[in-house]
Amino acid sequence: MIVRQAFFEGTIHAGREAEFHAFVERRLMPLWRLFPGVLDVRVLFAQTRDESAPPFALSLAMTFENEEALEAALQAPVRFESRALTGELMQMFDGHIHHHVFELHSAL
């Protein structure tokens, strides 16, 4: 299994936290679930962090069977639709997004 994570490093504009969360839940999550081949979509909103840790407002984890499935999803029209909406989300956010791909090994 392959997990692609998007880390939203930075901070949500003060007073816009609820709006940010609602935008993700109502507008982006439905699109992320439509990515072809996606097996699992997890959205994590930050609660607390170590004192010296950089702020991450959000982490998105999408699980795929393999690298080929991930690559197909990255070329899908729905991905480009979600990227356009993410541009709107960034109006409420100071920071940047970076992506990392992991190989999943279950400990259970």
pLDDT digits (tens, 9 = 90+) for 34-43: 999 999 999 9
Domains and CATH numbers, the chain: 2-43+60-103 (3.30.70.100)
Q: 25-78 pLDDT, tens per residue? A: 999 999 999 999 999 999 999 999 999 999 999 999 999 999 999 999 999 999
Q: Is the pLDDT of residue 95 over 80?
A: yes
Q: Are 1 and 96 in contact (CB under 8 A)?
A: no
- CA angle 100/41/20 to nearest 5° reads 85
Q: How far is CA 41 from CA 13, 16, 51, in A?
A: 25, 24, 28
